[in-house]
Copies of this chain bind each other. A is one copy, B any other.
Amino acid sequence: MSKPIIGDAAGAGGFRKPTGEESRALRAELEDFNAQYSLVLDEGDLQAWPEFFTEDAFYSVTARENFDHDMPVGLVHCEGKGMLKDRAFAIQHTAMFAPRYLRHYITNTLAIGVSDDGAVVARANYMVLETLHDDPTTHIHQAGSYHDIFARGEDGALLLRRRICVYDSLIIPTALVFPV
């Protein structure tokens, strides 16, 4: 898998750096998108989760150490919306795990590349807090950043063509079954 498109590299793949005005207009769209995405995950509505992606979407959750060294291995690796649906179904119907609440906090949203057909390269930092039902304390489950490429749906709304969730923690959380 290629490295994320950032800064000067934003020219790759038909992307150019957005102007200040474009960047600020895109921020509002990206923040709306990410807030809706998180709401679905925070409320455990996994069936709705794949609808944030394009049909040919790529989704993965990978350690920063691997990502920085261009190692394609990931904790989660989905190619195509079908695999996302399978994953959501599996979690809801077959996975065994202790009951918990997850809550997403997404900050530092930034459009770093745009193309003439409306696609957007974006970044954001995410933090997932976890509260287990049998433990009173809320703790940091995962901290990392989204490396995203958005396309446009038929109605012009943003859809994820690629979301790589790059987490800082070096030990794989054994309980990571939910999407990030």
> Could you say which of B20, B32, B42, B129 contacts A140, with CB atoms under 8 Å apart?
B129
Is A131 touching B106 in the complex (CB atoms < 8 A)? no
Question: A131: which of B39, B109, B137, B143 is its contact (CB, 8 Å)?
Answer: B143
Question: A108-B35, A157-B20 are known contacts. Are A140 and B139 too (CB-CB below 8 A)?
Answer: yes
When A23-B32, A108-B105, A110-B32 are in contact, do A125 and B42 touch as well, CB less than 8 Å? yes
Residue of B nearest to A130 (CB): B168
Q: Which residues of B contact A107 (CB under 8 A)?
A: 105-107
Contact call A104/B108, Cβ cutoff below 8 A: yes
Of B133, B143, B171, which is within 8 A of A136 by CB? B171
Cβ proximity bits A114-148 to B, threshold 8 Å, 1 near / 0 not: 00000000010101010101001111101111000
Query: In the complex, which residue of chain B has the Cβ closest to the Cβ of A45?
Result: B7
Enumerate chain A interface residues (CB-CB to B < 8 A): 20, 23-24, 27-29, 31-32, 34-36, 38-39, 42, 64, 101, 103-110, 123, 125, 127, 129, 131, 133, 136-140, 142-145, 157, 168-171
What's the number of copies of this chain in the assembled complex?
A: 3
For the complex, would chain A's binding face be called helix, strand, loop or mixed by DSSP majority?
mixed
Q: Which residues of B contact A138 (CB under 8 A)?
A: 140, 142-143, 168-169
CB distance from A156 to the nearest CB of B (A): 8
Query: Please, which residues of chain B bring their CB within 8 A of the CB of A110?
Result: 32, 35-36, 39
Known: A35-B108, A35-B110, A133-B170. 15 other contacts (CB 8 A): A23-B32, A24-B28, A24-B29, A24-B32, A35-B123, A38-B125, A103-B127, A103-B168, A105-B105, A127-B129, A131-B168, A136-B169, A136-B171, A138-B143, A140-B140
